[in-house]
Amino acid sequence: MEDRRLVQEFLNYCRVERGLSNNSLEAYQRDLQRLVIFADQRQKELSTLDRADLVGLLASMKDEGLNDRSIARLLSAVRGLYKFLVREGLLKTDPTTHIESRKAWQTLPSFLNLEQVEALLAQPDLSEDTGVRDRAMIELMYATGLRVSELVGLKLADIDWEGGVLNCFGKGSKQRRVPIGRSALRYLTQYMASRQRLLEGAQSHRLFIEKGGRPVSRQKFWKLIKNYGRQAQIEHVTPHTLRHSFATVLLENGADLRSVQMMLGHSDVSTTQIYTHITDERLKTSYKKFHPRA
**Which position among 62, 135, 195, 243 bears the catalytic label?**
243
Beta bridge partners of 160: 165
Task: Tell me which of 42, 62, 266, 291 is the catalytic residue.
Answer: 266
Instruction: Read off the pLDDT band of 24 (50, 70, 90).
Output: confident
Using 50, 70 and 90 to split pLDDT, how confident is the model at 211?
Answer: very high
Active-site option among 42, 62, 135, 147: 147
What is the average pLDDT across 197-204?
94
Q: Which residue has the higher pLDDT, 118 or 100?
A: 118
What top-level class would CATH report for the domain 114-290? mainly alpha
Question: Cα 249 from chain centroid?
Answer: 17
Per the residue annotation, which of 240, 244, 291, 293 is the catalytic one? 240
266 is catalytic: yes
**Average pLDDT in the 27-54 region?**
87
Active-site hit among 171, 220, 226, 236: 171
Give the contacts of 25 (CB within 8 A, at least 6 positions apart). 11, 14, 15
Name the residue ranges covered by the structural domains of the chain: 2-106, 114-290
4 annotated active-site: no
Handedness of CA 12, 18, 22, 25 (dihedral sign): negative
Residue 243 a catalytic site member: yes
pLDDT tens figures, 226-239: 899 999 998 778 88
Angle of the 129-144 helix axis to the 239-252 helix axis, nearest 10: 40
Catalytic-role residue among 275, 287, 291, 293:
275
Q: Which CATH number does 2-106 carry?
A: 1.10.150.130
Among this protein's residues, is 98 annotated catalytic?
A: no
Interval 125-174: pLDDT, tens: 999 999 999 999 999 999 998 988 899 999 999 999 999 999 988 766 67
Residue 171 falls in the annotated catalytic set? yes
pLDDT for 55: 81
Q: What is the mean pLDDT of the chain?
A: 83
CA–CA gap between residue 213 and residue 30 (Å, rounded): 30
* Intrachain domains 2-106 and 114-290 with the same fold: no
